[in-house]
A and B are shown apart, each in its own frame.
Chain A
Amino acid sequence: MAVNRRLWLLALPFLGTLIVPLYDAREPYLFGFPFFYWYLFAWLLVLPPLVWFVDRGRRQ
Chain B
Amino acid sequence: MSTAVHWTAWSVFAFFFALVTVLGFVAARWKKADLNHLHEWGLGGRRFGTGITWFLLGGDLYTAYTVIAVPALVYATGAYGFFALPYTIVAFPVFYVFAPRLWNVCHRHSYVTLADFAQGRYDNRRLALAVALTGVLATLPYIALQLVGMQVVFEAMGFGGVRGGAEIALIVAFVVLAVYTYTSGLRAPAMIAFVKDTMIYIFVIAAVIVIPAKLGGYGAIFAAADHAFAARGSGGILLHAGQAMPYATLAFGSALALFLYPHAATGMLAASNGGTLRRNAMLLPIYSVLLGLIALMGYMAIAAQVDAKGTAIVPALILQSLPEWFAGFCCAAIALGALVPAAIMSIGAANLVTRNIWRPYINANMTPAQEAHVAKVTSLVVKFGALAFVVFLPLHFAIDLQLLGGIWILQVFPAIACGLFTRWFRGNALLAGWAAGMALGTALSASVGMKPVFALPGIGGVYIGLIALAANFTVAALITAIANARGKLHRTDATAAIDYEDAVAVRS
Q: Apart from A17-B85, A45-B289, what are 10 other A-B pairs with CB-CB below 8 Å? A: A13-B92, A26-B238, A32-B221, A32-B222, A33-B218, A33-B222, A36-B238, A41-B292, A44-B85, A55-B96
1/0 contact trace for B165-207 toward A, CB 8 Å? 0000000000000000000000000000000000000000000
A3 at the interface (CB under 8 A from B): no
Contact A48–B282 (Cβ < 8 Å): yes
Interface residues of chain B: helix, strand, loop or mixed (majority): helix
**CB proximity of A18 to chain B, nearest CB, Å:** 4
B233 at the interface (CB under 8 A from A): no
**CB proximity of A17 to chain B, nearest CB, Å:** 4
1/0 contact trace for B281-305 toward A, CB 8 Å? 1110110110010001000000000
In the complex, what residues of B have CB within 8 A of residue A31's CB?
Answer: 218
Residue from B79, B219, B248 in contact with A29 in the complex, judged by beta carbons closer than 8 Å: B219
| Chain A residue with the shortest CB-CB distance to B293 | A41
Residues of A within 8 A of B (CB): 1, 7, 10-11, 13-14, 17-21, 24-26, 29, 31-34, 36-37, 40-41, 43-45, 47-48, 51-52, 54-55
Contact B89–A17 (Cβ < 8 Å): yes
- Give complex CA distance A30, B222 in Å: 12
B64 at the interface (CB under 8 A from A): no
B1 at the interface (CB under 8 A from A): no
B93 at the interface (CB under 8 A from A): yes
B217 at the interface (CB under 8 A from A): yes
**CB proximity of B211 to chain A, nearest CB, Å:** 14
- Give complex CA distance A11, B97 in Å: 11
Q: A17-B251, A18-B86 are in contact. Are A36 and B93 (CB under 8 A)?
A: no
Contact A13–B93 (Cβ < 8 Å): yes
Residue from A7, A10, A18, A24 in contact with B252 in the complex, judged by beta carbons closer than 8 Å: A18
| Chain B residue with the shortest CB-CB distance to A52 | B282
**CB proximity of A53 to chain B, nearest CB, Å:** 10
Contact A18–B248 (Cβ < 8 Å): yes
